[in-house]
């Protein structure tokens, strides 16, 4: 076992503080990674506060991990010592069921091993995330971070990037499509960059007027305030696709009204409370309301390669681990431009 410094929440809503975890010694198919950077996802905030219930403590959050490979098992072929590697939301799955075999490990029938707030496939050993100095992961669940991507800016691609890339691909985002991105935070700003890189005409729908100039700089063609009633009239029936990244309570029905006939709204944000849907919001115009959960490992590699080709990384604010509790507070105030990334050398 390898003693590893980390930061953890000891119980729901407690401030994160220094903690020591143990990582396993790498087995034949394991990759050991010295973590350089870890992005801060709003899911870290939801789970550290147990907003989705069933959270396991002590919890070491973090599933946007980039680091250097320090050791590989004898059978590892994907990565070598010294390579830049990534780890996202999953660290293992059964690898045998239909979803696992078809590249959607996130839907493993045995239950995927999430990077933290979960267990390894033995269902006993707790998993701990990237707010720590090292991680040991089965090679299938590691990603190659392409040369040319800034390691700190690439970290958020491992969750925010794949979570927005996957629905854009699934719903065939293409040149000329009108795509609306609801909420301009970590996921939202990646959705803007990725949809623009696929040729879409992107509109940001945000509660924060102060983000308008940033939205355009990130690649959006238009910005509309969702605090203004006029926006919902002006844009009624406008969009082919909406990607909803909002982390708090809001009315899905209002946004469904912005879709064209047969348009699709994909929910990726996870407000803690359920939201009522009126049947007429869907029936008028054969609207579709869909969800999307991260993406498979192969698709995550495709997303990283797409980002390297289009020179896309996240817009980040690098923080020391000592600033993590303040970063959580700022995310709750929608004050993030546009992803906090922890410099793990500060642990």
Q: Which residues bind Zn ion (CB under 5 A)?
A: 41, 43, 93-94, 97, 100, 108, 159
246 binds, among ligand NAP, Zn ion, none (CB under 5 to 8 A by kind): ligand NAP
245 binds, among ligand NAP, Zn ion, none (CB under 5 to 8 A by kind): ligand NAP
Q: Which residue, 253 or 334, is less far from ligand NAP as judged by CB?
A: 334
Q: How far is the CB of 184 from ligand NAP (least distance, A)?
A: 4
55 binds, among Zn ion, ligand NAP, none (CB under 5 to 8 A by kind): none
The single residue listed with the structure tokens 């396991």 is 56
Calculate the alpha carbon distances from 250 to 232, 271, 342 in Å: 14, 8, 29
Q: How far is the CB of 24 from ligand NAP (least distance, A)?
A: 26
Q: Which residue, 236 or 249, is less far from ligand NAP as judged by CB?
A: 249
d(CA 34, CA 140): 18
The single residue listed with the structure tokens 């959580």 is 328
Q: Which residue, 60 or 220, is less far from ligand NAP as judged by CB?
A: 220
d(CA 340, CA 155): 10
Interface with ligand NAP by CB under 6 A: which residues? 41-43, 46, 159-160, 163, 183-188, 206-208, 211, 245-249, 268-270, 292-294, 331, 334, 336
97 binds, among Zn ion, ligand NAP, none (CB under 5 to 8 A by kind): Zn ion
Greatest Cα-to-Cα distance within the chain, rounded to the nearest angstrom = 62
| Of 281, 283, 250, the residue nearest 267 (C-alpha) | 250
Calculate the alpha carbon distances from 241 to 74, 108, 175, 306, 313 in Å: 46, 27, 13, 20, 23
d(CA 246, CA 252): 10
248 binds, among ligand NAP, Zn ion, none (CB under 5 to 8 A by kind): ligand NAP
* Helix (H), strand (E), coil (C) string for 257-321: CCEEEEEEEEECCCCCCCCCCCHHHHHCCCCEEEECCCCCHHHHHHHHHHHHHCCCCCCEEEECH
Q: Which two tokens stand for residue 275?
A: 């939201």
Contact 2, 113 (CB under 8 A): no
Q: How far is the CB of 289 from Zn ion (least distance, A)?
A: 22
231 binds, among Zn ion, ligand NAP, none (CB under 5 to 8 A by kind): none
| Of 22, 338, 58, 96, the residue nearest 204 (C-alpha) | 338
290 binds, among ligand NAP, Zn ion, none (CB under 5 to 8 A by kind): none
Residue nearest to ligand NAP (CB): 185
Contact 300, 162 (CB under 8 A): yes
Q: Which residue, 43 or 142, is less far from Zn ion as judged by CB?
A: 43
Q: How far is the CB of 64 from ligand NAP (least distance, A)?
A: 9
How many helices and strands, by DSSP H and E, does the chain display? 11, 17
Q: How far is the CB of 317 from ligand NAP (least distance, A)?
A: 11
Q: Which residue, 256 or 297, is less far from Zn ion as judged by CB?
A: 297
Q: How far is the CB of 191 from ligand NAP (least distance, A)?
A: 9
Q: Which residue, 31 or 41, is less far from ligand NAP as judged by CB?
A: 41
Q: How far is the CB of 99 from Zn ion (least distance, A)?
A: 6
198 binds, among ligand NAP, Zn ion, none (CB under 5 to 8 A by kind): none
Q: How far is the CB of 337 from ligand NAP (least distance, A)?
A: 9
Q: Which residue, 164 or 206, is less far from Zn ion as judged by CB?
A: 164
d(CA 299, CA 104): 9
Peptide bond just before 58 cis, omega within 30 deg: yes
């Amino acid at each position: 076992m390898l003693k590893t410094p980390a930061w953890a929440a000891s119980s729901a809503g407690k401030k994160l503080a220094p903690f020591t975890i143990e990582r396993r010694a790498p087995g034949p198919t394991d990759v050991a990674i010295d973590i350089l950077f870890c992005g801060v996802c709003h899911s870290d905030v939801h789970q550290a506060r147990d907003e989705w219930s069933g959270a396991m403590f002590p919890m070491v959050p973090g599933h946007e991990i980039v680091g250097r490979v320090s050791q590989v098992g004898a059978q590892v072929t994907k990565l070598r010592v010294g390579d830049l590697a990534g780890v996202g939301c999953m660290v293992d799955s059964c690898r045998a069921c239909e979803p696992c075999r078809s590249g959607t490990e996130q839907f493993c029938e045995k239950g995927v091993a999430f990077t933290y707030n979960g267990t390894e496939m033995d269902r006993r050993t707790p998993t701990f995330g990237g707010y720590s100095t090292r991680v040991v992961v089965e090679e299938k669940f590691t990603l190659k971070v392409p040369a040319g991507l800034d390691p700190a800016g690439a970290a958020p691609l491992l969750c925010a990037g794949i979570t927005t890339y996957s629905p854009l691909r699934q719903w065939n985002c293409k040149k000329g499509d009108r795509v609306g991105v609801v909420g301009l935070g970590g996921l939202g700003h990646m959705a803007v960059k990725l949809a623009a890189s696929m040729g879409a005409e992107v509109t940001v729908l945000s509660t924060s007027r102060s983000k308008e100039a940033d939205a355009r700089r990130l690649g959006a063609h238009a910005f509309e305030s969702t605090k203004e009633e006029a926006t919902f009239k002006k844009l009624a029936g406008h969009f082919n696709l909406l990607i909803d990244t909002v982390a708090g309570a809001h009315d899905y029905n209002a946004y469904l009204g912005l879709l064209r006939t047969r348009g699709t709204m994909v929910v990726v944000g996870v407000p803690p409370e359920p939201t009522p849907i009126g049947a007429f919001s869907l029936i008028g115009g054969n609207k579709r309301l869909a969800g999307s959960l991260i993406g498979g490992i192969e698709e995550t590699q495709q997303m990283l390669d797409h980002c390297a080709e289009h020179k896309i990384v996240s817009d980040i604010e690098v923080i020391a681990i000592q600033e993590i509790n303040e970063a959580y507070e700022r995310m709750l105030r929608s004050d993030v431009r546009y992803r906090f990334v922890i410099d793990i050398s500060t642990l």
